[in-house]
Amino acid sequence: MRISAIVPATNQPPTLERCVHALENRPGVDEVIVVTSPREAKAAEARNIGASRSTGDLLLFVDSDVEVHPGAAQRIREAFESDPQLVALFGSYDDAPASKGTVSAFRNLLHHHVHHESPGGAQTFWTGLGAVRRDAFERVGGFDPALDWLEDVDLGMRLSSEGARIELDPTIQGTHLKHWSLIGMVKTDFVGRAMPWMELMLRAGGSSSVLNLGWRHRLSALSALTMAGGLVTRRPRVVLLGTGAMLILNRRFYGLLRRRMGVRGAAAGVGLHAIHHLIGIAAVPVALAKHLTRARD
């Protein structure tokens, strides 16, 4: 099976050279297609353009700020060749992000942890490092060019609704090269993650318990809300209750933060994790209002 690696890079990111160099020097990748124009193209459109120019049986989508590990492409090829029923497969960031800033380390390690906690069957997809059979991709019409965000999640949901089997294999990894600022994290989590994810769930008429929508995530969001409520009302016991619940629910994740970031970094990570959950809560009424407005129109 031939693998075509497709990298959307219409914004000409500074990480592109490392991304492409890794792909061109990884066994298993037969061609690398970098889409740099048109500059106004959304990620979904750029990926569709790359797919249309490719010749491979497998379409390997890689974000331009990901440096694929050696052996990842070959592992992907072997997975598809050994299992004709496998339609899509995606991996994970590693636990050694390129940027060592506190926010960057937290955000990347959170993604790493979520994917490593949920291996196996999935109902979504990830274009950070994910492959799909060309025939299945074309059958569902590729990525939805109308979407500004989460076009990969949408693709996975459409494939899954047709009965396609999608797998998450967190041993297929790449290094994330992106630097995160606190403002950038808040903006992306609200506008680019929480709101569009809720809108996709509402559009599908259901809910999901996979990846970052599992029961632990939901209880953690409630705990973060308890912490925030205690701070606003100046009730230390309520703050401690919420914090204690967060620590218990996410002890494995915070253990990872401590190992990779140290005690101070882990402590900061707890606060950042609470902010992450509060952003998700704030997105719910906004996404619901947008959904109801569209339904009336």
Digit-coded pLDDT (tens) for 253-278: 999 999 999 999 999 999 999 999 99
Q: Tally the domains of the chain.
A: 2
Q: What is the pLDDT of residue 17?
A: 96
Are both 170 and 255 inside the same structural domain? no
Q: What is the pLDDT of residue 44?
A: 96
d(CA 254, CA 270): 7
d(CA 231, CA 249): 20
Q: What is the pLDDT of residue 209?
A: 47
The stretch 33-45 carries a mean pLDDT of 94
Q: What is the pLDDT of residue 122?
A: 93
Q: What is the pLDDT of residue 211?
A: 58
Does a structural domain hold residue 132? yes
Are both 101 and 52 inside the same structural domain? yes
Q: Which residues pair with 93 in a beta bridge?
A: 174
Mean pLDDT over the full length of the chain: 93
Residue 279: pLDDT over 90: yes
Tens of pLDDT, residues 103-149: 999 999 999 999 999 899 999 999 999 999 999 999 999 999 999 99
Strand 66-68 and strand 86-93: pairing? unpaired
Residue 225: pLDDT over 50: yes
Of 179, 201, 221, which one is at a domain's C-terminal end?
A: 179
Are both 251 and 111 inside the same structural domain? no
Does a structural domain hold residue 122? yes
Tokens of 257: 């933060």
What CATH number has the domain bearing residue 23?
Answer: 3.90.550.10
The H-assigned helical ranges of the chain are 16-24, 43-53, 72-82, 102-116, 134-139, 151-161, 182-187, 195-204, 215-232, 236-249, 251-296
| Among the listed residues 264, 214, 269, 265, the one whose alpha carbon sits nearest the alpha carbon of residue 243 | 269
Are both 114 and 240 inside the same structural domain? no
Are both 171 and 216 inside the same structural domain? no
d(CA 153, CA 151): 6
Are both 151 and 16 inside the same structural domain? yes
- 122 near 114, Cβ under 8 Å? no
Tens of pLDDT, residues 168-191: 999 999 999 999 999 999 999 999
- 52 near 72, Cβ under 8 Å? no
Does a structural domain hold residue 206? no
The stretch 65-88 carries a mean pLDDT of 96
d(CA 215, CA 152): 23
| Domain limits for position 245 | 211-296
Does a structural domain hold residue 31? yes
Residue 205: pLDDT over 70: no
d(CA 272, CA 267): 9
Are both 122 and 269 inside the same structural domain? no
Are both 102 and 23 inside the same structural domain? yes
Of 138, 156, 179, which one is at a domain's C-terminal end?
A: 179
Q: What is the pLDDT of residue 297?
A: 66
Residue 155: pLDDT over 50: yes
Q: What is the pTM (predicted TM-score) of this model?
A: 0.92
Q: What is the pLDDT of residue 149?
A: 92
Q: What is the pLDDT of residue 213?
A: 62
Does a structural domain hold residue 202? no
Are both 19 and 156 inside the same structural domain? yes
Does a structural domain hold residue 150? yes
pLDDT band at 215 (very low <50, low <70, confident <90, very high): confident
Q: What is the pLDDT of residue 25?
A: 86
Are both 165 and 290 inside the same structural domain? no
Tens of pLDDT, residues 19-30: 999 999 888 999
Does a structural domain hold residue 154? yes
Does a structural domain hold residue 276? yes
Are both 100 and 15 inside the same structural domain? yes
Are both 226 and 173 inside the same structural domain? no
The stretch 60-78 carries a mean pLDDT of 96
